[in-house]
Structure 1
Amino acid sequence: MEEINTDQLGGYASRFINVLLDYSPKLISAFLILFIGLYAIRLINRIIRKIMVKRNLDPTLTKFLADILLWALRILLFVTFISKLGIETSSFVAILGAMGLAVGLSLQGSLSNFAGGMLIIVFKPFKVGDTIEAQGVVATVQEIQIFVTKMTTGTNQTVFVPNGALSNGTIINYSMGGERRADFTFAVSYDSDIKKAKEVLLNVLVQNPKVLAKPAPEVFVLNLTPSAVEFAVRPWAKNSDFGAVFSQTLENCKTALEAEGISIQPYTVQK
Structure 2
Amino acid sequence: MTEFLETYQSHIIYGAIVIAVVIGLHFITNIINKWLLKKEVERNSGALSTHVKPVTILKRTLNTLWLILGLIALSFIFVDEDKHETLKGYFKLAGYLGMVAVVTIISATLTNLWFKRNIQERILQNYDTTSYKFLRYVVVFIICFIGILFGVMAFPSLRGVAQTALGGAGVLALIAGFASQEALSNLVGGVFIITFKPFKIGDVIKLSDAMVGTVTDITLRHTIIRNNENKMIVVPNAVINKEKLINYDLGDPKCCELIEMGITYDSDIDLAKKILAEECAKHPLILDNRSKKDIKEGKPMIRTALIKFNDSSITIRAWAWARSYKEAFAMKCDVYESVKKRYDKEGVGLAFPTRTVYLINGGEVADQRDDKL
Q: TM-score, normalised by structure 1?
A: 0.63
Could you report, residue by residue, the CA deviation over 1:53-108 in whole angstroms, capped at 9, with x for unpaired residues? 6972423223345678999xxxxxxxxxxxxxxxxxxx968975345313213213
Choose the corresponding residue for 1:115, options 188, 209, 214.
188
Distance 1:189 1:169, change over 3 A: closer
8 Å contact kept, 1:211–1:217: no
Alignment of 1:258-269 (within 5 A): 258-266=344-352
Partners in 2 of 1:68 and 1:102 — Cα distance?
A: 15
| 1:134 positional shift | 2.6
User: Does residue 217 of structure 1 match 2:291?
Assistant: no
Number of residues paired by the alignment?
Answer: 199
Which amino acid in the other structure matches residue 253 of structure 2? G
Choose the corresponding residue for 1:131, options 185, 194, 204.
204
User: Does residue 206 of structure 1 match 2:276?
Assistant: no
8 Å contact kept, 2:257–2:329: no
Choose the corresponding residue for 2:319, options 234, 241, 250.
234
Could you report, residue by residue, the CA deviation over 1:214-254 in whole angstroms, capped at 9, with x for unpaired residues? 15432101112342222112212122412320111100111
Which amino acid in the other structure matches residue 172 of structure 2? G
- Larger RCO, structures 1/2 (Cα 8 Å, 6+ apart): 1
Q: Which residue of 2 aligns with 1:187?
A: 262
8 Å contact kept, 2:260–2:317: yes
Q: Which residue of 2 aligns with 1:46?
A: none
Q: After the TM superposition, list the runs of 4 or more consecutive aligned residues in structure 1 that deviate by more than 4 angstroms.
A: 64-71, 91-96
Unaligned runs of 5+ in 2: 1-117, 145-162, 291-300, 354-373
Q: Secondary structure at the match of 2:133?
A: helix
Distance 1:191 1:115, change over 3 A: same
8 Å contact kept, 2:281–2:302: yes
Partners in 2 of 1:185 and 1:209 — Cα distance?
A: 19
Q: Which residue of 2 aligns with 1:151?
A: 225
Q: Which residue of 2 aligns with 1:17?
A: none
Q: TM-score, normalised by structure 2?
A: 0.47
Partners in 1 of 2:192 and 2:331 — Cα distance?
A: 35
Could you report, residue by residue, the CA deviation over 1:99-155 in whole angstroms, capped at 9, with x for unpaired residues? 531321321322211111111011111111112123762222111112211222222
| 1:163 positional shift | 1.0
Q: Which residue of 1 aligns with 2:83?
A: none
Distance 1:57 1:212, change over 3 A: same
8 Å contact kept, 2:137–2:219: no
